[in-house]
Amino acid sequence: MMIRFHRTCRRVSLSPLCVISPPSPPSSLHLLPPKLSGFSTLRTRRRFSGNSLTTVMTSRSSSSRLRCLASLSPGSGEDSRSNGSASLSAATATEDDELALGTGYRLPPPEIRDIVDAPPVPALSFSPHRDKILFLKRRSLPPLADLARPELKLAGVRIDGHCNTRSRMSFYTGLGIHHLLPDGTLSPEKEITGIPDGGKINFVTWSNDGKHLAFSIRVDENGNTSKPVVWVADVETGEARPLFKSGDIYLNAIFESFVWIGDSTLLVSTIPSSRGDPPKKPLVPSGPKTLSNEKSSVVQVRTFQDLLKDEYDADLFDYYATSQLVLASLDGSAKEVGPPALYTSLDPSTDHKYLLVSSLHRPYSFTVPCGRFPKKVEVWTADGKFVRQLCDLPLAEDIPIASNSVRKGMRSINWRADKPSTLYWAETQDGGDAKVEVSPRDIVYMQSAEPLAGEEPEVLHKLDLRYGGISWCDDTLALVYESWYKTRRTRTWVISPGSKDLCPRILFDRSSEDVYSDPGSTMLRRTAAGTYVIAKIKKENDEGTYVLLNGSGATPQGNVPFLDLFDINTGNKERIWESDKEKYFETVVALMSDQKEGDLRMEELKILTSKESKTENTQYSLQLWPDRKVQQITNFPHPYPQLASLQKEMIRYQRKDGVQLTATLYLPPGYDPSKDGPLPCLFWSYPGEFKSKDAASQVRGSPNEFAGIGSTSALLWLARRFAILSGPTIPIIGEGDEEANDRYVEQLVASAEAAVDEVVRRGVAHPSKIAVGGHSYGAFMTANLLAHAPHLFSCGIARSGAYNRTLTPFGFQNEDRTLWEATNVYVEMSPFMSANKIKKPILLIHGEEDNNPGTLTMQSDRFFNALKGHGALCRLVILPHESHGYSARESIMHVLWESDRWLHKYCVPNTSDADSSPDQSKEESDSADKVATATGGGNPEFEGHSKLTRSLL
């Protein structure tokens, strides 16, 4: 996935990036607890307002909110060490069924609940000068009442109208500052004081000089949460106060919130003071809703959700998204700048003399979300005076669905990070259509903020692939990135922005899928202006131009991250740091010796690293050159000590077509296969597409990474004595002109068979007690496996999936052919079309307010009806107020209860196939498939369509 390289990237956590795209420069360094192993890899973009993407867990005290709820613990009276696989008694099963038919939220067994309710550790943010660490304290899982607040769904955005913010915003509950002492230890915490009790903190940012923090606060009042108010805090004293003297100035946080301009001024997006009450819906409509295509335009769009439905919706969108910009100083003075508008981005120039201002305007669309609405991009002076308009992009309903297709006109408009008041951007030469063959495909331009009369933009570089961003250093060095998804090709160019005589040259030209050849990404240093540029390293008595390459170090034995000193001119490199290979997994998180301007001296190098193992959670340390002294600066407690001795192994095995596969096998603490025998097993995965077998066979991840357990993670069932096969690779490969999905079912089943055979061969999984599950595209996988490989699994759990691809006719996931171009593929991949073949129990779970393109809640509704219509053993759980991922404690606990009940009812006691060999079961499955194919599967909708093969097996 390409990393968008512009100012908004500064508010996400800093992590090593693949060279397929430029490193994202954060305005300050944000660190989070170790990544959590959830049920799935979500392919959605979620907006988190706490300055960093966080995954939160609930404190133990929060369980008091739900102490009236029933707790069902199937088999809890059995010996917890006896494989967790004892059959339920008749009485327990009866009680289980009665509870399952009842209403209300349930709680999972205590051994699962205690892990989910573990107190969350804080997120960390380093000051611009790297001398202080801000601890951002987080709450537990939110109550369902937070999600139940009214929300408006407008133009692809979900809005809390009462707060005038995005709905469902996470927040911090407190801020504490620690000084980083010379010996690497932390000073006692200085709490930020003055924040109202119960204040909900968002958008935390450091001033450029590191002396102040800015953030927003919302408070609960009369059962509702107030509109956000901007606050500032003095870092030295820890005292916080509102930014504005008037208590009637509120932040409008629908799009942009605020940005620092210099060290003492903020540009704030506020709710216009003249705004009245929201528009009222007319009792009598003014006319019918009409959509027209009388110009015969080709408009193909994915199944976007939450779109505008009528003019009333458009008026509401205007009402809530329109902002008035206000320049506010720390001394309390404030003035309005510019007219009220739908401002979406505010970006000060490197020298803070100009602003790059983006805004949306009418005409809106009922077909696409607001990101494709008409957009103006203008240059203003820092005090808010209009300078010039860069572009006014029209409505973009017609962007082709093919990968790498983009909007026409100027895009990715940004300031150069290394030069004052200089803009750069890209323009497509193929009309934005990736299917058009043209050279060059993209041109990158550069121009000053206020060009002289008649001065044309300078052509910086021409690209034959799709432009992916630039990492700046100075006038002698910049790196330009381009890539092409269809071929997985990615290239990095070296250019000299200030020297037209020097021709650009290719630095790296490789496949983005080939992780073994990934050279790493350049490390960035912070400038005095608060921007990030490539860090040049100076070696003693050496005139070479060196940079640091931070790589994941993928190898056949797993990732071994590294840091290389790389000569940009000769290509020679020296490995100056590498992770431990035997017990620990370490990564380079950030460069810490970047307070000085100019080249960094090698002997003064300081980096921040993380360190973890299979059983030890992530801690952070400083490493100092030249003696490589290590100073550990955090000491987070183990989040779930009851699983501290879990067993983890990265296993390798082979698919029948020769593709090497990888999975992570987790076993419960104290488990001994020779004594305890095979366990019930939960297989949880997510398919991926590849262009080559070699790339698909490569190992990704490390066997030494800490087992992070999220609130809905499959690893929770380690506490229930399950074996967990986490993330078994399921590569769907399309080499040459073949598309990956042309043989989706065949490759899916072959991958699952290889994984199941391996865990059975090892004696850790009982062949008739293996359940399969997944989220989103993993749920789609689960349903397909139960339809086409029932001999492998006893039951399945599918969450928030899409099961009928004819409901997503203009592409899905990475499939960019339409239903009419690849009818057979759409039909054969859809488990809905094979509902008559699903005979194993399947649990469907879906959020009632799923806003992910393609996974409408209707998908689970209709799939359940199809299953029920064929007598399948199935259950559908719709979670009120939940979206694609689940967040409320009540919802999460109930999902875990449903899943645990399903596993203990249909996996743990399952013996139906115990006397049958896997081969015999497979033969019966294949025979059933042949009968279903020959008879049309009893589905009259497809009678006569004999050319559409119902199964690839």
Question: Residue 219 in 3-state DSSP?
Answer: coil
Give the E-state strand segments of 140-257 in sequence order. 152-154, 157-160, 165-166, 172-179, 190-191, 200-206, 212-218, 220-221, 224-225, 229-234, 240-242
Place of tokens 């307070």: 595
Give the E-state strand segments of 222-333 in sequence order. 224-225, 229-234, 240-242, 258-261, 265-270, 323-329
Residue in 805, 781, 807, 801 with CA at minimum distance from that of residue 846? 801
Spatial distance between the Cα atoms of 333 and 884, rounded to a whole number of angstroms: 43
Strand partners, 624: 606, 629
Catalytic residue ranges: 776, 850, 884
Q: Could you tell me if 511 and 488 are in contact, meaning their C-beta atoms sit under 8 angstroms apart? A: yes
What are the backbone dihedrals phi and psi of residue 65, each rounded to the nearest 5 degrees, phi first? -65, -30
CB atoms within 10 A of CB 289: 9
What are the backbone dihedrals phi and psi of residue 560, each rounded to the nearest 5 degrees, phi first? -130, 85
**Burial (Cβ within 10 Å: 0-12, 13-18, ≥19) of residue 797:** buried
Place of tokens 């810490």: 592
Spatial distance between the Cα atoms of 799 and 860, rounded to a whole number of angstroms: 9
Token digits for 291?
């959509």
Spatial distance between the Cα atoms of 820 and 785, rounded to a whole number of angstroms: 25
What is the 8-class DSSP label of residue 281? P
Query: Residues 6 or more apart from 23 whose CB is under 8 A from it?
Result: 17, 471, 521, 522, 523, 524, 532
Token digits for 216?
């927003």
Token digits for 477?
């060095």
Spatial distance between the Cα atoms of 242 and 263, rounded to a whole number of angstroms: 17
Place of tokens 């199937």: 74
Q: Could you tell me if 479 and 507 are in contact, meaning their C-beta atoms sit under 8 angstroms apart? A: yes
- Cα distances from 339 to residues 250, 308, 354, in angstroms, run 17, 24, 17
Q: Could you tell me if 639 and 689 are in contact, meaning their C-beta atoms sit under 8 angstroms apart? A: no
Query: Residues 6 or more apart from 359 whose CB is under 8 A from it?
Result: 341, 342, 343, 344, 375, 376, 378
Spatial distance between the Cα atoms of 10 and 12, rounded to a whole number of angstroms: 6
CB atoms within 10 A of CB 484: 18
